Structures are given as structure tokens and as C-alpha cells.
Structure 1
Amino acid sequence: MQLFLSYPTLYADICVTYATLSLSYFALSSQSAFSWQSEAWKRVAFGLLSGLALYYLIPDRLDVSTHLFFNFEMIPIILVTFFGGWLSGVTSFLVNVALTEPLSLDNLLIASVLVPLLLLRVWRHKTHRLFYRAIILIAFYRMALAYSQPLRVPWYDVLFYQCAVTGCLAACYHALNFAERHIHAYFSLRDRATIDSLTRLNNRTSIDFKLMSLQAHQKPGGLLLIDIDNFKQVNDTHGHLVGDQLLVQLSEVLMQSLDSADFAGRYGGEEFIVITDRHNTGPIVETAERIRQAMSASVLRLAEGASLSVTVSIGAAIYLPGMAMNKAVEMADDALYQAKRNGKNQVMCSRIMQLDQLGDGPG
């Protein structure tokens, strides 16, 4: 009896499947909760990482008939489809095809299972009921296919192996589902503590931590304080709902205008802050001007076809190692006040940056 002599192999296959998928899921959730809505490269990576399990699982198989065999290779493909979406599932299947005979009966069987899952978009409607319906149908389908072939092993070996596969699928599904719920809960709590609920930018707590981190590590950087011009008048004329829409619009302008390494947050009210790794006057002013021009060009559509366009004033400063961070922020605030007093809709640099500009010259 081929199967009952291989309990250690069966146990090892279950452990490898669970460990590979769980570790891959945790690794891809290091910065944000992984899901079928994650970046494309993460979903492809989830499918590729499942290939590590496939590489181990493929040699361990139960030869059911001359042309058909059972092994655990279907498990990672099904699970990454449920948790990573179609891109993860297709990637995992292609890895499996690359590691085996492309037109084998086993690959055709896996494709015939995968296609309905893709058409049903199981990752969008992932529930325990849907999952168990799927794996029960898959189990009956595989058993029916096995019994349509002249068996090379006793029928109870086939039944036992299929039960092991189904049990492994269920165990791994619930383990990943448990991890998914708790990781999503963790990032949700973290966002509530560090993200502004209206603009989805960093909140004051995150800003203060970022500023303290710069000072603690003695890292130079650029500071931009950004304030919407005539914001109180907008609130008084159009209402606070329109004011909130303007805040969201500015946050979108910031995200589109900044580099990925830049840090943006809502400092308070209609005031925003940008912290950059660049500490030379030229690049900082270029960033500020890009934001100012983008905001001037943006238009907020109001009810009944009306529109509203506002400008921003920006105060720029630099933080250098050895400075007090509150002094750098104060200089940016003074520059912002100067921009407001000079007519608004402009960028003003702190005194240190103005001296730096005087020193910029040929040679």
C-alpha cells in the first residue's frame, strides 16, 4: 500500500504548504495588509512564492492510474487565488506548468478547477461557505475523475489522500484567514492613530514623530509649511463641507506632486507640512513651486455647475544637524507668514535659505 507507508512525507507536505504560504503572506504584509487589492508586484510575488511550495510538493505524489496522479500542488494555487486574486492564482499556475509537463492530465485538471474560481472571482466574495462549497466540489470532481480511470492503488488510498488534501486546504485557509483578519485589524488601528481621517495623510502625531526622528538621527531635510489662502472666507461663503473638499483636494495635489520618499501630513486646520530628504535650496523651492502651481491649476466642482479655485502660500525652511527642530519649524512658519503678508499664492524661503541662495553661483 503506497500511501500508508508515507505518513512522514504526507505530514511534511502539509507543513511545507502551510509554512510557505503563511510566511509569504506575512512578508508581503510588512508595510500594509496584503490582499487582492494590493500592488500588482505583491500579487505576482505571492504567486511566485507559492512556487517554492510547488517545487517541493510536485515530486511527492500518489499515482492513481497510468495518466493520473494526486499530489498537493493544487493547494497553493487554490489558496493564493482566494487570498491574492486572479493575478496570484494565474502566476502560481504558470509556475506549476513550468515545473511540470505543460500538457499533462494533472495540469488540465488544475486548470479545470482554477478557471471556475477565476470566473466566480472568489477573492471578492471570500466566505467560509463559498470556500467549503468550492473544496467539496473539487474533492468530488477529483474522486470522480480518479474512478473513471483504471486504478493502480486501492480505492481507500485514493479516498484517504483526497481527505488529506481537503483537510490541508481547510487548515491553511483558516490559518491565512486568521492572519488576514488580525493583520487588517492591526493596520486599521495603526491608521487611526497615525493617519488623518479626512485627507488620508499623516496626522499631527505622525508629523511630530517624523520631526523627532530627523532630529534624533541628525538627518538634514527640507520643511514646507503650506496654507490654503482665504480658507476662512471659503468656509463662511460655501460651508464647511466645501472646505473639507478643498482639504482633500490639496492632499491629492500633494500626493501627485511629491516623490515617494517625501513625507506629507496635515499639520492642523488648513495647514499642511511636507518633509523632504533634500536640504538644498533649489530642489526644495522646485518642489514648493510644483505644489503651488498644481493647486492654482486645480478646480473644485461645486453643485449646480459652479466651480471654485483656490491658491496656497508656502513657507520653506531647512533643518540641519545641530539645529533645534522647533527652530526649523518656526523659520518655516515665519516664511509662510511672510508669503501671506506679501500677497499670498507664493513661496517664501527662510532667512537661512535666502543666504544659501546668495551663495549659489558659478564655480
Structure 2
Amino acid sequence: MTFIASISSFYSDACITYATLSIGYFALSKNSPFSFEAALWKRVLFGVLAGLAALYLGQDRLIISGKLYYSFTMMPMILVMFYGGALSGAVCYLVNFAFTGGFTLDNLFIGSIILPLLLLKVWRKKSNHVFYLTIGIIALYRIAVVGWFLDLRNLWLDILLYQFAFALCLAICYHALRFKERHIHAFFSMRNKATTDSLTHINNRASVDYKMLLQHAQRQSCGLMILDLDDFKKVNDTYGHLAGDGVLASVGYILQDCVRQEDFVGRYGGEEFIVITSSYDPHHIATVAERIRSRVERSNFASTDGTTFQMTLSIGTSLYLPGMSVEKAIEMTDDALYDAKRGGKNRVVSSRLMSLAPLGEGFGR
């Protein structure tokens, strides 16, 4: 197939490559932006999708002589490496390797290009400069290898135009994915700013309210804790507001470290925090609450001048059960917190609603 005859296939090859990687990138960015640091299964899946695209692109070839030919097979391999890292790139290559005859001359040639990219870790240096330098070197290498074995005097025009088309399609797909990447990162950045407390880096009050409304709408039972730092005003008065901010940030970290991944932690306002546990078992809630209370009591906090001090917190625990109003569930948890404060602080007090936990069995997880 000459270059002129190949023109019609370039557009479809570029579209197939971009569509496959774009849809994959978007789907894998559902909860967080996809990158070379994403979950293992995401990077593997991204590599598999790119491998399938590479198999499709291998059908359109510029035959040079005998078994020598050019194709767009490497296009998704290069792109997936820039966006998914080493694992995605290696998986893409192995998929193509497995379904195109294994140790063929073409696969070994592709491997001689992919391996240096893996060793150079191009995904960590991703920039327009690095990308164009990469595809320029690859184009020259492909021409040089073929030129070493064959007299290309009658094929120079086709080969040069084909490499130009390859680089152009690769560049279009790269920048289109780059555009999508920037917008996905911007979306998550704005979402985090809207839902995350800037000081403690945990969920803010708006997120807490939404979480409780979601529990109510889905009729899911859960455990509730409202936590309040004891005598927090004294910290601000004695050590300054910067020290107080440091305490709040540290407590936010402690809360995240003391609960399970499926539990929810948020700043409820001022020095108050809230924990929403997926379990509504009273024993489990009491255990987690005591773990948090003890951890804060044992922690050393520091002022801006290096002085260390200790803090305690009081915790009220309760439940949300389907059929309750969110306001009532929060009110009963708050009442338990006030009982803990009146009882001497630095303690956990459960609301009387805990005795009704069995009622949540028909609805809870």
C-alpha cells in the first residue's frame, strides 16, 4: 500500500486511537484523575485497551519490501506510556506481542523502541518538548533501520510522508488527551475545593450535609459521632491561632487514621468534627470513638515557638436509622456530646438511641 493509498486510513487510525484512549481515560477518572500513579488494575486496563487499539492499527501497513513494513501500531503504545506509565505501556506491548506471533522481527523492532522509553520514564517528564523529541527520534530511528537493509531511493517520498503522517496523528491524539487531562484535573480540583475543608483537608460542612442527605435518601443506617475539642479557646489564647490551626489539622489526620476507608470524616464547624461510620453496631462505634479519644489524649501538639502541649476531646455517639429525620439524628448525637462535656470532658457518651440498633438491620449494610 503506497502512502497515497494509505491517506484514507490515517484519519480512521487516529480516530480509533483517540476514541479508545479517551474513553478509557475518562472512565478510569471517575473518582480521581487517572495517571501513572493510579490503582494497579486501572493501569493494567488502560494498557489492555491500548493493546487492542494497537492490534487494530496493525492491519493498515505501508509495505516496503517482503516482510518489512510501517504501521501505526506503536501510536497507542507511545501515548499510553505518557499517560499511564510503565505498567500501561508494558501491558499494551505484551497484548500486541501475544496476538501478533510473539518473537517476530516487527515485535522485536517495536520492543527496541519501547524499552528505552520505559527506562527513561518519559511519563515522569511529560511535556511538549519531551514528547516531540521522543517522536522525532523514533521517526529517525525507523527510517535509519529500514535504510540500513534496503535501497530506499524509490521509496523515500512515501517513507518520509508516512513518518510525517504518523507524527502528525500522534501529536493530534497527544494534545487531545492533554486537553482532556487538564479539564479532568480542573474538575477534581474545583470539586475538592468545594467539598474539602482547606485547613484540615477533610470533608467540609457542605459535604457532611450532603452525606447525611444521601444516607436519608438511600435509607441506610449508620453510626454517628460528634467530637469537640475540650477547652480549645485556651489554646488560641495561650499559644495563638496558628497553634490552634495546627491542632485542628492534626486532629483531622488522627480521625482519618482511626477509621475505616468506608467511613466518613468531616469538620462540622469550629473545633467540632463528625464521623459517620458505615457500621451501626453500638460496640463498633464505641470502640472507634474510644480509639480516637485515646489517640488525641496521647498526642503531643506544638505551638509556633516549639512548646508542646496536650489536648483532649469529648465525643457523643448515636445512630441514624431509616425513618428518622437527619436533624433529629444530629440533635441526639449533639445531646450525647453535651452530656460528655457536662460529665467532665475527655470521655465518650452514647445516646439512648443505641438500644434501637437492631431496628437498622432491615436497612443497613
- Note the alpha carbon deviations across 1:10-45, whole angstroms, 9 max, x for none: 433222111111111101111112223333332232
How far is 1:304 from its partner? 7.4
User: What pairs with 1:97-112 in structure 2 (closer than 5 Å)?
Assistant: 97-112=97-112
- 1:301: Cα distance to partner? 5.5
CA deviation digits over 1:167-221, x for unaligned, max 9?
Answer: 1110100100100111111111111111111222111111111112222333222
Q: Does 1:261 align with 2:262?
A: yes
Correspondences of 1:302-321 after superposition (within 5 Å)? 307-321=308-322
In the alignment, structure 1 residue 183 sits paired with structure 2 residue 175:
no
Query: Counterpart in 2 of 1:174?
Result: 175
Displacement of 1:285 in angstroms is 1.7
Question: Aligned AA for 1:296?
Answer: E
Partner Cα separation in structure 1 for residue 69 and residue 308 of structure 2: 66
- Please give the per-residue CA displacement for 1:98-144, whole angstroms capped at 9, x wherever unaligned: 33344333333333333443344332332222211221121111111
CA distance in 1, matches of 2:83, 2:289: 41
Larger deviation: 79-88 or 177-186? Answer: 79-88
SS in 2 for 1:64: strand
1:268 Cα deviation after fit:
0.7
Q: 2:192, 2:274 → 1: CA distance?
A: 18
> Per the alignment, do residues 355 and 15 of structure 1 end up closer, same or farther by CA in structure 2, a change over 3 Å counting?
closer
Contact 1:253/1:295 (8 A) holds in 2: yes
- 2:47 touches 2:88 (CA, 8 Å); kept in 1? yes
Which position in structure 2 is the counterpart of 1:135? Answer: 135
Alpha-carbon contact 1:225-1:271 (below 8 Å) kept: yes
Q: Say if 2:234 is the partner of 1:233.
A: yes
Per the TM alignment, residue 235 of structure 1 is displaced from its structure 2 partner at its CA by: 2.3
TM-fit CA distance, 1:90: 2.5
Q: CA RMSD in A?
A: 2.5
1:52 aligns with: 52
Q: How does 1:212-251 map to 2 (within 5 A)?
A: 212-251=213-252
Separation (CA, whole Å) in 2 of partners of 1:356 and 1:76 = 54
The one-letter code of the counterpart of 1:43 is: R
Counterpart amino acid of 2:20? T
Go from structure 1 to structure 2 and tell me whether the alpha carbon gap of 1:147 and 1:281 turns closer, same or farther (over 3 Å shift): same
Structure 1 residue identity aligned to 2:178: N
Cα displacement (A) at 1:317: 1.1
For 1:42 and 1:309, the matched residues in 2 are separated by 43
Q: C-alpha deviations, 1:279-304, integer Å up to 9, x for none?
A: 23222222222322333344446677
SS across alignment from 1:70:
strand
Q: Tell me: CA distance 1:312–1:114, structure 2 relative to 1, closer, same or farther (3 Å).
A: farther
The CA deviation at 1:54 is 2.0
Q: Distance in 1 between matches of 2:323 and 2:23?
A: 42
User: 1:341 corresponds to which residue?
Assistant: 342
Distance of 1:98 and 1:30 partners within structure 2: 30
Q: After alignment, is 254-263 or 290-299 more displaced?
A: 290-299
**Match of residue 360 from structure 1:** none
Q: Do structure 1's residue 322 and structure 2's residue 323 form an aligned pair?
A: yes
Amino acid paired to 2:18 = Y
TM value normalised by structure 2: 0.88
Report if the CA contact (8 A) 2:54-2:75 is conserved.
Answer: no
- Measured in 1, the distance between the counterparts of 2:278 and 2:104 equals 54
Preserved contact between residue 10 and residue 169 of structure 2 (Cα < 8 Å): no
Spell out the pairing of 1:18-57 with structure 2 (5 A cutoff): 18-57=18-57
For 1:3-14, list aligned pairs within 5 A: 3-14=3-14
Paired residues, number: 357
Distance 2:65 2:300 in 1: 68
Of the structure 1 ranges 23-32 and 345-354, higher mean CA displacement relative to structure 2 is found in 345-354
Number of the residue aligned with 1:361: none
Q: Distance in 2 between matches of 1:301 and 1:90?
A: 47
Q: How much does 1:306 deviate?
A: 5.0
| Alpha carbons of structure 1 residues 137 and 235: separation in structure 2 relative to 1, 3 Å | same
CA spacing shift, 1:92–1:307, aligned 2, 3 Å: farther
Give the match for residue 163 of structure 1.
164
- Kept in 2, the 8 Å contact 1:317–1:349? The answer is yes
Q: Which moved more, 1:228-237 or 1:260-269?
A: 228-237
Secondary structure, aligned partner of 1:261: coil
The 3 A distance-change label for structure 1 pair 169 and 344 is same
Counterpart for residue 94 of structure 2: 94
Distance 2:162 2:56 in 1: 17
Instruction: State the match for 2:198 in structure 1.
Output: 197
Task: State the match for 2:362 in structure 1.
Answer: none
Alpha-carbon distance in 1 for matches of 2:122, 2:217: 47
Change (3 A) 1:23 1:84: same
More displaced stretch, 175-184 vs 243-252: 243-252
Question: CA, structure 1 residues 122+219, in 2 after alignment: closer, same or farther (shift >3 Å)?
Answer: same
C-alpha contact 1:64 1:151 (8 A) present in aligned 2: no
Taking only the aligned residue pairs, the percentage that are identical comes to 51
Deviation sequence 1:35-58 (CA, Å, 0-9, x none):
233333322322222122123223
Aligned-partner residue type, residue 162 of structure 2: Y
Q: Tell me what 2:363 maps to.
A: none
Cα shift at 1:309: 3.5
